[in-house]
Copies of this chain bind each other. A is one copy, B any other.
């Protein structure tokens, strides 16, 4: 990964149950605001990369690339990238490859998902399209992550208090994020007494169903930058959990992180702040170890001892994460990078990391940003 990739514009729409907005309206809002924020002429956008998981199923709308292109007077080439809930990270990678290839100088990445126009049951079924064929036997994502959580808690002699601690922290972080879906403090008791979804996971261990969009403008040209893309990486693993060597670590994440650190010339201790893929609270516990921030056997204790929030070793999910900011699946990976670029731009951190996962760890994409030169 080269060092001349800059993020020069970002936007994040409000995340939530946005009954009054369509997928196209959300995309349009994010695209328009990111271009305005970048301070470039719309005609400077030479290509568009659209991240979306399942508009084909949620909205019977595909060909999103053409929908995005026609937002511009010059109809730039556009493409839609899908990698389940890692679609955002994957779209950023595709954009970076095109820039590094010298095909384009300035491009836009937009992630969007409109999930609330179908019932919660349909949503669960649509999201399960990112799992393997075992879903027909009930292995929806809450069920798969519950298996992981159960094994993790037993292996490390932890109770579900550690999971609840993550939910409480991320809700607290979201209080400062005006775009977050949930801006309400939760107590440990509220989380631990909430309804069971798939034991040991309770409703407050799960990220919500969300509508939302986010966009970033990337360039290789000299321009006032919010942050620089220092490195990125992508990893994969078997989709079926039974085919994995371990359930308490995601190999896709560690592979992606290793590449990203190497390309950035950094190590985990260099990172001050990270957005990690906490689709369920347990996923944050795995992530902070797989990304190298804590050894696996210490991740639980570090979480309980507030080492993952302001005043601790590293700030995990300053936006509130998927858990409290919301999880419009195709938008999430783009939102993570947009949110972090703004933190860096405001001088709140110099080196930050975004971690975006597809499925139950089948795909992972990691981005490292740093202060622009």
Chain A: residues with CB nearer than 8 A to chain B?
A: 1, 53-54, 56-57, 60-67, 69-70, 75-84, 90, 93-94, 96-103, 125-126, 128-132, 234-239, 243, 251-252, 255, 358-359, 362-363
A237 and B362 form a contact (CB under 8 A): no
A236 CB contact (under 8 Å) in B60, B69, B101: B69
Q: How far is the CB of A257 from chain B (nearest CB, A)?
A: 13
Q: Which residue of B lies closest to A365 (CB)?
A: B77
B54 and A62 form a contact (CB under 8 A): yes
- Count of this chain's copies in the oligomeric assembly: 2
Q: Which residue of B lies closest to A69 (CB)?
A: B236
A132 partner residues in chain B, CB cutoff 8 A: 67
B83 and A362 form a contact (CB under 8 A): no
Q: Which residue of B lies closest to A53 (CB)?
A: B62
C-alpha spacing A97/B125, complex, angstroms: 34
C-alpha spacing A234/B80, complex, angstroms: 13
A129 and B66 form a contact (CB under 8 A): no
Q: Which residue of B lies closest to A89 (CB)?
A: B79
Q: How far is the CB of A67 from chain B (nearest CB, A)?
A: 7
C-alpha spacing A94/B57, complex, angstroms: 24
A77 and B235 form a contact (CB under 8 A): yes
Query: Assuming the A-B contacts A236-B66, A236-B70, are A90 and B84 also in contact, with contact meaning beta carbons closer than 8 angstroms in the complex?
Result: no
Q: Which residue of B lies closest to A82 (CB)?
A: B80
A94 and B75 form a contact (CB under 8 A): no
A129 and B358 form a contact (CB under 8 A): no
C-alpha spacing A84/B70, complex, angstroms: 15
A363 partner residues in chain B, CB cutoff 8 A: 63, 65-66, 69, 78
Q: How far is the CB of A213 from chain B (nearest CB, A)?
A: 17
Q: Which residue of B lies closest to A66 (CB)?
A: B362
Q: Which of A61, A97, A252 has the most CB of B within 10 A?
A: A97
C-alpha spacing A57/B368, complex, angstroms: 34
Query: Assuming the A-B contacts A56-B54, A125-B60, are A93 and B79 also in contact, with contact meaning beta carbons closer than 8 angstroms in the complex?
Result: yes
Q: Can you give 16 contacting A-B residue pairs, CB < 8 Å?
A: A56-B126, A61-B129, A62-B84, A62-B129, A63-B363, A65-B84, A66-B84, A66-B237, A66-B363, A67-B132, A67-B239, A77-B234, A77-B236, A81-B82, A97-B97, A97-B98
Q: How far is the CB of A358 from chain B (nearest CB, A)?
A: 6
A67 partner residues in chain B, CB cutoff 8 A: 132, 239
Q: How far is the CB of A83 from chain B (nearest CB, A)?
A: 5
C-alpha spacing A75/B129, complex, angstroms: 20
A80 and B78 form a contact (CB under 8 A): no
A56 partner residues in chain B, CB cutoff 8 A: 54, 56-57, 126, 129
Q: Which residue of B lies closest to A135 (CB)?
A: B60
B78 and A236 form a contact (CB under 8 A): yes
Q: How far is the CB of A103 from chain B (nearest CB, A)?
A: 6
A129 partner residues in chain B, CB cutoff 8 A: 56, 60-63
A238 and B63 form a contact (CB under 8 A): no
A131 partner residues in chain B, CB cutoff 8 A: 63
C-alpha spacing A134/B236, complex, angstroms: 39
A60 partner residues in chain B, CB cutoff 8 A: 57, 125-126, 128-129
A65 and B83 form a contact (CB under 8 A): yes
C-alpha spacing A131/B60, complex, angstroms: 10
Q: Which residue of B lies closest to A95 (CB)?
A: B97
